[in-house]
Structure 1
Amino acid sequence: MSLKTRLRLLIVGLALALVATLSLLNLYSLASAKFEDLAERATSTTLQVQTLLVQHLNRRASAVQPAASGPLAPRQWAELIRQDEELPRLLADMLASSRTIIEIQILDESGEVLASSNPARAGQPARKVQSLVAWSSQGAWRQLREVLRGGEDFAVVLPVGTGEQPLFRIRVLYSTVLVRSTLEPAISRLATAAFFSLLAAAALAVLASNLAFRPLARVSQAIDRIAQGEMLVPRQPEKREPEEITALENKLQVLGQQFRGARQDALELRGNVEQLLERLEEAVLLFDREDHLIMAGRAAENLLGRGRWEMLGRHLSELFPPSTELGAAIVSAVGLRHPLRDLPIGIKVDGGNIRQVQVNVEFLESYPARERLGTFVSLRDADTRRQISTQLDVSARLAAISRLTGGVAHEIKNPLNAIALHLEVLRARLEGQDPETEREIDLIASEITRLDRVVKTFLDFTRPVELNFTLFDARELAGEVTRLVEPEAAGKGIDVTIDVASAPLPLRADRDLIKQALLNVVVNAVEAMPNGGRLEISVQISGGECIVRISDQGPGIPAEIRDKIFQLYFTTKGKGSGIGLAMTFRVVQLHGGTIDFTSEVGRGTTFWIRLPLAERPLAVKEMHT
């Protein structure tokens, strides 16, 4: 998760906690006030009902028995209430004036309903409900929970009688469901306020994160200059400049000097190694940590009977089969990580003659973890005693350069997050104030994006690539690549032809990486013919391999730069990045394949990409996926 996303989540989380706390406090206060008011209203309403009923019943009693005859007995009162036909309507009229009362009942001493606002209840035992006093003593949270879930109703009971002996009881039932309906508008307003507060917090989080992560143009320019090997010129920090920016620029200056020196050393070392390998009489081969060949001397061509470009990218077991004495010794030494020194072995050369060679296997390791970075293999005549300690030292320094490149990329990327954070803060503060400044800030944003791609490129070439192997037909992949470049080729007057084998060519490889590798070569071919020409793409099978041939009629590649075209960042185009062919070379190597080319100045260039075919043939369904 990016730092920008974390900042947004932190702000929203804090706002959510604050809004939730305030909402709960407001809800508690609201509920407490509502329930206290409800208790007072319930008691007051019940007293009003008692007064009206007593007046009505006294009138009825006076009509039935004159005052001279004495007071009515409890049984007479009960009978009078049962026979009063107007009483249920009166109770119903009283019920209609309240929003929370569901029923008004008159009960005798035994709990039987004598009269009710619901006539169907008359004559039935009164159902048990909790009293208002018990309900009010539960506390506001429990009362609120019961109201929201529609819990048990509660009642207010008032006795009616003379002296200590009640004649009957008036019970008013209150519904928690109806109480909830009175609370819902206030809760709805509270929820709406909380919702808009959260929306405001989310908007604040976006604005704050955008403001904090605004990129810096000169940081991007400094990193670009470092990548190009230029020297950074120290400058005086501006007023009110954040300390993080000043610290980063100072660190970039130090890293730039280190990287520039390391790059110059690497170029010098590479040139010396190439010259040394050309002059060595012994065959020298350098393998990476995955046991793929990355460098070989000219003597290896004569000894192994293959061209260097053909061998590059091949696995160690392909160049030295374990079935032979030489292959068994080398593969066993690599597997056990046991170096070999001057091991005499006889190998067959042209004509079937046996040549005695001395085999040396050394391992390049990181310090102090002692992880294997590569394997150094040398084959020399038994009579030759030339030492190769300098070559081992060169290989170790090249490995150190690779680690330094990865370190530079990480050192740049780590403080970049802090810079972007403060830059986005600056964007929010200046938003809407100065359109010219906003355009400059947008330019900085685009530059930081490109800067991120540069850093990722550094990291991609210093860490292993995880391949996603799938089974597909190379013919279909070549067709897709052809269709992608046809519009651009047609605009330049280029005639594109494709020739594929009649039988399926199954490849088990990372389809996206292979597609990108082919596309890099084809796009270069199209760009090499701005005035039109002919582009030929051929996909065939030969010796258990899929061979992709890409030929153009461009200006060709000069002889003096042919050994550099697969180098990272090497380009002859004004707007080129120098990544395409380097990436293609690496992708082909990772799949156990090889890439080679021939070129004639003024006539064009032809690339050959060889990839091992999959052992299992493609099914009909897989051919069309």
Structure 2
Amino acid sequence: MKKYKLLNTITILLGLLSFVMIIALGWFTYENYDRERTLMENNLLQEAEFIRTSLRAKLLMGIGGDLHQLRDYVERLETSPFVKHILVFDKDKNNLLGDEKYTYTEYPDNHNEHQKVNFDSEGNYVFTFISELTIHYDILTGKKVEKSDQGIKYTTVIELYANEYYEAQREDIRRALGTGLLLLVIGLASVYFIFVIRRYYSVNVHLQNVQDYISNVIQSMPNGLISLDKTGKVETVNRTAVKLLGLEENKVVGKNIHDVLPNCKSEALGQNNSEKFEQNVECHLNDGNTIPLNIISSKIKNEIGEDLGTVLIFTDLRELKSLEKAVERSERLASMGRMAAGIAHEIRNPLSSIKGLAQYLRNKFEKDSEDHEYASVMISEVDRLNRVIRDMLNFAKPHEPKLALCNIEDIVSHSLKLTESELNEKKINIILMNKDDLPTVLADSDLLTQVFLNLFANSIEAMDENGTIEISFSEEEQFVIIEISDEGSGIEEENLNKIFDPFFTSKSTGTGLGLAIVYRIIENHNGKITVNSVVNKGTTFIIKLPKSN
């Protein structure tokens, strides 16, 4: 853009300079014309003065009275190409010398040393010089004038050709007009080029803005984009592709795509002949990670259909895969929930009869008898089965959350108080890292209390005495995050994907519904729960709940 601005400035200055030079040329031409006219008139006047002086000298030398000799002398003077006529008139305006066809009436009234330039009948420029000449004798008779101090006055008319002077002036004017016209053309051309350059500059600015806009659009795309030339070398790569594929932009451009992603095997990256090709692949990145990708390749062609290269669009399928798994899990849990509800209803009624009969028999037997003890065990087992059935029903048809603004730190503190006796019994140390100005969440405090009680119970059961439970709070974009870490026995890696499934448990006791209910409650709050665990080192549950805003 700088060179366009410089060129525009130079053109403007050239145009202004041309117009200034035109004005200056006009002024100097006028001054030169006026000066040459004055010089011309002075030269003609000097020449006329010289002829008049020469004529007067001849008359004073005494050739007066001999008209033939005077006429010969005048005719010799008229042979000069610059002299048209030399005329002498007496006081009565009679033509004494010169062409007799000229009369004084053709000239203005007598004025001493009158001079004028005009056209003659032949179209010549003629300088006319009229002056008085005083002689002390009569030039016709040669007789001296007596008793007269002033002498006889004669009028001389000298006409000189001024064509060469005016032709030189016209030539100067033509040259000035030619130069002025040239400068005018240069000035107008400069004005034209100013508009052209401004238009060119405007078009280039517009094209640059369009290019920047397209570049920003490409860089801001949520999908990765890489463009290749005809040989498969990388031309451009956007930020999303750099981040998604773990690339370094300055080290990618100019390399072949197979050298950039050597472990990502896809026909979309090859030299296929399809106009458009789409494929889902598990792409092995250079950093060792593997991610699911949807790759679309599309040919780039010019207006006549020639192949210019290929554009590759990379879509990260990790979130989609996660959603698919979540949907699959939800469908599986819903199916298991419906089955569990049916089973629970079928079992609950017989259990009520069994418990009633067991209570009746226990009351019939002696308290210390073996039969009384058996009846008590039957009642205890029926109660345990009823608790299992209650959990199954809670899982199958969870309570709809009664949402209200909640302080998540208060809910966690309340849950810790409810488990205080179990914590003290095992001498569990609690590290609670509260966060200032933690946003509120829109949640059901009773259901979240059930979540934390279940997680705390699992941590307490997984640890020996003098263990530690660490609870921290943070926020991330639209979520409040709660992390609960313990120093328990951990979870086997192959079981991490199963612990939220109903009826899955690695403990000798338990229904396997606790964490499934926890997952369902968090899910009903539009939240997320994940787990990280290392065997013999501990487990961390990470809960994300939406902020109230």
TM-score under structure 2 normalisation?
0.38
TM-score under structure 1 normalisation?
0.34
Higher RCO (CA-CA < 8 Å; seq separation 6+)? 1
Please identify which structure carries the higher helix content: 1
